[in-house]
């Protein structure tokens, strides 16, 4: 689990991760992946930038708890979660969630659970920049 204030290349991260985790070699029959990117529109308006704010320490603990919950609910070999914070522009990746398991059902269910929980429960505050100024975005929006 990582929060990152700089650029995120999810495909490079995903390709490199198993090499750092020898315990995955030969055991993972499934890898489920979600990559979320910033849209250039939201709620009917063009969005030119977004700032994601968080409380250092608190947010990391929450994300670690979400990963632990996923590991408790499904039989997983590993989980990767990288989330951007700070200023983000349209088309830039915001989040990478990956779950490894021996079987696809566990990997897919855990990946979906993690991204859904990130969108609704994670302590992030989003502020969008539009042509009309800045606006705060409700969780899940």
Domain ranges of the chain: 2-137
- Predicted TM-score (pTM) of the model is 0.92
CA dihedral 67, 96, 41, 91 (to 10 degrees): 170
**Side-chain-facing half-sphere of 43: CA atoms under 13 Å:** 10
99 contact partners, CB below 8 Å, separation of at least 6: 31, 32, 70, 74, 76, 78, 79, 80, 106, 107, 108, 110, 111, 114
**Residue 140: predicted pLDDT:** 63
Tokens of 108: 């897919």
pLDDT in tens, 62-103: 999 999 999 999 999 999 999 999 999 999 999 999 999 999
88: nearest Cα among 121, 124, 139, 140: 124
In this structure, is the dihedral angle defined by the CA atoms of residues 9, 62, 22 and 113, taken in order, positive or negative? negative
Tell the residue number behind the tokens 């408790």, with chain if given. 72
**Which two tokens mark 38?**
């910033």
Averaged confidence pLDDT in the chain: 93
Q: What pLDDT score was predicted for residue 104?
A: 97
pLDDT band at 128 (very low <50, low <70, confident <90, very high): very high
Pick the CATH number of 2-137 from 3.40.640.10, 1.10.287.130, 3.40.50.300, 3.90.1170.40: 3.90.1170.40
């Amino acid at each position: 689990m990582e929060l990152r204030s700089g650029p995120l290349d999810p495909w490079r991260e995903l390709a490199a991760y198993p090499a750092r985790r020898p315990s995955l070699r030969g055991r993972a029959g499934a890898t489920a992946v979600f990559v979320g990117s910033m849209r250039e529109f939201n709620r009917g308006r063009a969005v030119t930038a977004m700032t994601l704010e968080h409380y250092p320490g608190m947010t990391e603990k929450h994300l670690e708890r979400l990963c632990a919950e996923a590991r408790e609910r499904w039989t997983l070999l590993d989980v990767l979660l990288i989330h951007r914070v700070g200023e983000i522009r349209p088309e830039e990746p915001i989040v990478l969630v990956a779950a490894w398991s021996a079987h696809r059902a566990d990997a897919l269910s855990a990946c979906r659970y993690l991204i859904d929980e990130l969108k609704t429960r994670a302590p992030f505050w989003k502020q969008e920049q539009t042509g009309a100024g800045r606006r705060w975005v409700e969780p899940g929006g």
